[in-house]
Structure 1
Amino acid sequence: MWKKVIFVVVLVAFISVQFADSLRCYSCDSPQSCRSPSSHLCTNETANASSTFLSTIHSDVPEIAGSSNFSCSNLYYTHRENQTQAFAFMGCVHPNASVCNLSLNATNSNNWIISCYTCNEKDYCTSPAGTFSGSFYAIVGSTLALLMAKLVH
């Protein structure tokens, strides 16, 4: 009996660690969609998709084969002459892409000003509307599994 309980607890712990180590970012690609951004788990696929999208606005987005670390990014583009919002982007990026240092392409370079923020310390860190981190859920899940194991015995 205890072998099964210990197996389940260890299994829950391994699954929880996966979620605790995964960074979640808000995702949007226009001022309208950034009013209510979606959410995604950072992977090489999502970071590469962000790089592909950013290359339509910036001229020097580096190609990065892959990485094991990611950052959330929040870029807002405003019109230089009247300070109204021209464009917005939030998403998962490769840290080596240095999105805050990218140059605008020739079409937008004289017209837009960029405000940029990146972070990787917690889930959804690019928005003031925070949520609990994955490690919080891992701790709660492990505690509940241990309590259930005690109740079963």
Structure 2
Amino acid sequence: MWKKIVFFLVLVAFVAVPFANSLSCNKCTSPSGCKSPSSETCSNSTANANKNFLEGYHSNVPTVNGSLSFSCANLTYYHAANYTHTFEFLGCVFNETNVCNLALTNTVSGWSRKCVQCGTDYCNPAGTYSSSVYTIVGSAIAVLLAKVLS
């Protein structure tokens, strides 16, 4: 009986942990850094830090005085002629910061923009594992534990 309870609790823990955590996003602030981005958990402090970074390049970044609504963003500027990246940002922002409509402070001709703003873990494209991978691996471990314990 206890083996079944332990198995059930382990399974619930692996499935529930991704839902208990806050939104997680890939994080980088340069084209070279975005080749292997880090991870950040969204909070007012991370979103404010990213707002301050974006203000260095954009003129209309809105001020948000605290929020519980966040998005992951991927903003890339590149030269259309040869697809050379000149600016790249991945990170957590406030939902009210419409990253895709930010205006560049210095407009340079020939630049194009690629932009994604989304609301699920690691949805701003980069090569990292999502929480569903951890759930699948955790479920497989739980099944193996159940077989060993029975």
Pairing 1:2-151 to 2, within 5 Å after superposition: 2=2, 6=5, 9-10=8-9, 13-14=12-13, 16-20=15-19, 22-64=22-64, 65-68=66-69, 70-78=70-78, 84-105=84-105, 108=106, 110-111=107-108, 113=111, 115=113, 116-127=115-126, 129=127, 131-151=128-148
TM-score, normalised with respect to structure 1:
0.70
Shift of 1:134: 1.0
CA 142–32 in structure 1, closer or farther in 2 if over 3 Å, else same? closer
> Which whole-Å CA distance do the structure 2 matches of 1:16 and 1:135 have between them?
9
Q: Is residue 2:130 matched to residue 1:152?
A: no
Shift of 1:12: 5.5
Unaligned runs of 5+ in 2: none
> Which whole-Å CA distance do the structure 2 matches of 1:144 and 1:14 have between them?
12
TM-score, normalised with respect to structure 2:
0.71
Q: Which amino acid aligns with 1:19?
A: P
Cα deviation, 1:29-68, whole Å, max 9, x if unaligned, reads 1222223322333333322221121112112212231224
Q: Secondary structure at the match of 2:74?
A: strand
State whether residues 25 and 126 of structure 1, in contact with CA within 8 Å, keep that contact through their aligned partners in structure 2.
no
CA 83–139 in structure 1, closer or farther in 2 if over 3 Å, else same? closer
* Root mean square deviation, CA, Å: 3.3
State whether residues 10 and 142 of structure 2, in contact with CA within 8 Å, keep that contact through their aligned partners in structure 1.
no
Q: Which amino acid aligns with 1:141?
A: G
Q: Which amino acid aligns with 1:30?
A: S
Unaligned runs of 5+ in 1: none
CA 22–16 in structure 1, closer or farther in 2 if over 3 Å, else same? farther
CA 83–143 in structure 1, closer or farther in 2 if over 3 Å, else same? closer
Q: Secondary structure at the match of 1:92?
A: strand
Q: How many aligned residue pairs are there?
A: 146
Q: Which amino acid aligns with 1:66?
A: S
